[in-house]
Amino acid sequence: MKGKRINPLERHGEKLFFLLMLVALMAVLVKQFATGGMTVKVGAKDNLTISQGYETIASQAERLDGQIKSNEVDAKAPKKAPDVIELVQSAIPTKPSETVSIVIGVPDSGVIRGGSDPTIEPGGDGPEYAMPRPVAPATPLVKRYSGALDPITVATTAGLEDIVGSQQPFDVHAVTVSTTFDASALRAALAADPDGSGPLQPIPGHWWRGQLVLVDVELWRQEVYADGSNGPEELIGSMPGRGSVRASLNDPDASMPQILKTAEDEARDIARPDFYSVIAGAVWSPAAPEVQKTPQEIEADSRRAEIAHIDEELEALQQNLNDLGKSPDERQSRRPGASGGFGDTVARGGGGRGGPVGGGRSGRNNAAAEAARRAKAARERQELAIRTKMDELQAQRNEIVAWLTEQGLPIEVVEKADPGLEMVAAPVGSLKDSDTLHVWANDCGAEPGATYRYRVRLVYGNPFFGRDNVIRESQRDELASPRVIRTAYSPWSEPVTMDQTSYYYLTRVSGQGSGIGGDSGRIVYAEVYTFFYGFWRKADVRLRPGDPIVGEFVLPELDTFEFPTPQEGTVDARNIARKPVDSTLVRSLGDIMLDVRPSARVNRDALKGGRDTEPDYEAVLLDAADRITIRDPSQDRASERRSQMKLSAEQAQTAVLAEPGQGGVANVKEDGEGPGGRDARPGGNRDERPTRGLGGRGGLGG
């Protein structure tokens, strides 16, 4: 079989392809080296040979290396590196819809203007800002407080002795002024754009957030005179021994960052200073809004108060009824064990026997019999009038008790927890985080008997302070110079009258006669109160025309304390010695009783067709300022202030005196034992934080 013939092209195809590729390569080499070769582009230069390109690049590298190693600075370079944080923060939008545009770098002239789209304006004078409209605290509430300070607290607190004196007991009468502040409204005002699309810029948030620290609560006082006019305003000093930065604010060398830090550390003392340790008296609490009551609760409280008034009237009438069965000598002599009264010890009358009356023995007997008959008839009329009045009052009382019973309400007064104590236990809060800030301040230097009104303003850090370089020059003095900002003043509080050291209240008139010019048989019964060692003390006195009003008070067991000068602010309890207080205290009020007469009010009622009953009586007195005053025992008995003092005097008989240096009455347990198992001593106060016993009463007055 004859084989197939192979085509020569197929047989030598691969060799031909290799030969063609070799020819092409030789052509390229010839062009590269024989005709000048390939070209390259370096920067703006084109058609450079490879060797020319290499030389160009090498020349540029040498020039740049020389610039790097040179000490000269390019004239176009910024003179000062920009604050990157400031640039970034100023470009952060204040509204979610805004976009961020950040410009890095500052030209030779010009500033960066804040806002949603910061731009560089050559020759500009900086952003224009405005101080937000001030926010004012709410109308303050005021509350009086009285107590006896711990002598160790007085000894270890610089400046406190200047307020309470150097003689124990250290009784103090103070006013606590509390208010609320809308912190959320302040933050909203700081963050707001002052004029919308106008030229004024909102304050950058990081400026005011760091400065929003409460550094002071200013308490301003103004005395209210009897004629209704007002005295000059005065700023009440900070409480001695409590944290304060007020002095540092006036020190030009004090660092503002350090002031703010100290204010944050002392936030409680600045916003809500606790009162001093008290060893006798009520537990202190600030003024707080009254708990809202339902109409039924208000009605019930009113009716319970009416029951208390009726009981006072019934007691006075019963005492008068008991006196009708006594002889004048028994009524006018000092009662065994009576605790007060110098004016009821001697019966007054003419001296000597006098001349004969009538005609002989028979006439005298007839006159005596007639006098006895008239006296008996008068007593019977008085007794009938008293019993009739008592029956009417008892009927009124029964109606009130029936109403309370039908409503399912207790007849006795219900003591509720003091809302002020709840405020003390609550967190302090801050201007940065709280919606509403509760603050208070104490005035420990008010004068007895004076009437005052108060207002408050808050002080916090100024967000513009220290930022002169980013505020236009025309605004620097106004905005950037002050260290702090003061809020607007709160409205004035209601006037509050400080207690005097002593008071008296007439409670009833008993006996027969008409005072001066009569047989001097009328006796006026009174209660005298004086504040001593943390409580009101009570003395019962009986007065006749011409008697001065003097109280003789029998005190429970009380001590003052002696100890060496404190070393490093502390006193060793083992070095404290007791010195008993005299058991009798005498106080003269300076008033004199002149006369006892039928009440003008009752006489007017009788002229209008009223009942023909035994009239009430009123007393005519001469006060310490030589002024004539008229006092009605029925009105004195109804005094709410008298009821508060009477309750305090009752508490004082069984209260507990706290040990000095052990935290005061707040640490005295209800069973009379304090820290460390010490024994209770009468004369001080029980812990009033619980709801039983004396708990929840707080200070007297309000």
Mean residue pLDDT of the chain comes to 77
Q: What percent of the chain has pLDDT over 90?
A: 39
> 456 - beta bridge partners?
219
Residue 337 has pLDDT above 80, yes or no: no
Q: Domain map of the chain by residue range? A: 11-69, 141-290+417-497, 295-347+373-415+500-653
Work out the average pLDDT over 678-682: 41
Quickly tell me which residue has 């805004």 as its tokens.
98
The reported pLDDT for the residue numbered 231 is: 95
Work out the average pLDDT over 114-121: 36
Crossing angle (nearest 10°) for helices 295-324 and 360-406: 160
Q: Which among 541, 518, 517, 507 is positioned nearest to 328, based on CA atoms? A: 518
The reported pLDDT for the residue numbered 171 is: 95
Q: What is the pLDDT of residues 548-590, one digit of tens each?
A: 999 999 999 999 999 888 877 778 778 889 999 999 999 999 9
The reported pLDDT for the residue numbered 442 is: 96
Q: What is the pLDDT of residues 386-395, one digit of tens each?
A: 888 888 888 9
The reported pLDDT for the residue numbered 311 is: 86
Q: Which amino acid is at 238?
A: S
The reported pLDDT for the residue numbered 400 is: 86
* Segment holding 528, helix H or strand E: strand 523-532
CA dihedral of 126, 131, 132, 133, whole degrees rounded to 10: -150
Q: What is the pLDDT of residues 269-283, one digit of tens each?
A: 999 999 999 999 999
d(CA 350, CA 343): 17
Residue 346 has pLDDT above 80, yes or no: no
Residue 121's pLDDT band (boundaries 50, 70, 90)?
Answer: very low
- Bigger pLDDT: 37 vs 632: 632
Lowest mean pLDDT among 360-364, 379-383, 423-427: 360-364
485 and 462 Cβ atoms separated by less than 8 Å: yes
Sign of the torsion angle spanned by Cα atoms 558, 562, 566, 570: negative
* Segment holding 694, helix H or strand E: none
Helix-then-strand count for the chain, H and E? 17, 22
d(CA 575, CA 529): 35
DSSP code of 582? Answer: P
Q: Which among 330, 317, 279, 204 is positioned nearest to 634, based on CA atoms? A: 317
Residue 661 has pLDDT above 80, yes or no: yes
Sign of the torsion angle spanned by Cα atoms 94, 99, 103, 104: positive
* Segment holding 510, helix H or strand E: strand 502-510
Residue 212 has pLDDT above 70, yes or no: yes
Residue 102 has pLDDT above 50, yes or no: no
Residue 8 has pLDDT above 70, yes or no: no
The number of CA neighbours under 13 Å toward the Cβ of 74 is 7
- Bigger pLDDT: 39 vs 358: 39
Query: Cis peptide before 169, with omega less than 30 degrees from 0?
Result: yes
* Torsion region of 343: left, alpha or beta (phi above 0 gives left; psi -120 to 50 gives alpha): alpha
Buried b (16+ CB within 10 A) or exposed e, 146-176: bbbbbbbbbbbbeebeebbeeebbbbbbbbb
Lowest mean pLDDT among 258-267, 369-378, 421-430, 453-462: 369-378
The reported pLDDT for the residue numbered 575 is: 85
- Please give the span between the terminal C-alpha atoms of the chain, in angstroms, as a whole number: 141
- Bigger pLDDT: 388 vs 31: 388
Spell out the residues 6+ positions from residue 531 whose beta carbon is closer than 8 angstroms to its own: 146, 171, 173, 499, 501, 502, 537
Lowest mean pLDDT among 270-274, 283-287, 443-447, 473-477: 473-477
Residue 144 has pLDDT above 80, yes or no: yes
Residue 157 has pLDDT above 60, yes or no: yes
592 and 622 Cβ atoms separated by less than 8 Å: yes
Residue 694 has pLDDT above 90, yes or no: no
d(CA 507, CA 503): 13
Lowest mean pLDDT among 44-48, 62-66, 98-102, 519-523: 98-102
The reported pLDDT for the residue numbered 194 is: 85
Residue 551: is it exposed, middle or buried by C-beta count within 10 angstroms (0-12/13-18/19+)?
A: buried
Residue 89's pLDDT band (boundaries 50, 70, 90)?
Answer: low
pTM: 0.69
The reported pLDDT for the residue numbered 473 is: 85
Lowest mean pLDDT among 285-299, 319-333, 608-622, 645-659: 319-333
d(CA 136, CA 181): 7
The reported pLDDT for the residue numbered 341 is: 38
The C-alpha angle with vertex 331 and arms to 330 and 332, in degrees rounded to 5, equals: 95
Sign of the torsion angle spanned by Cα atoms 296, 297, 298, 299: positive
Highest mean pLDDT among 84-88, 302-306, 346-350, 635-639: 635-639
Three-state SS at 41: strand
Three-state SS at 587: strand
* Segment holding 523, helix H or strand E: strand 523-532
Residue 84's pLDDT band (boundaries 50, 70, 90)?
Answer: low
The reported pLDDT for the residue numbered 160 is: 92
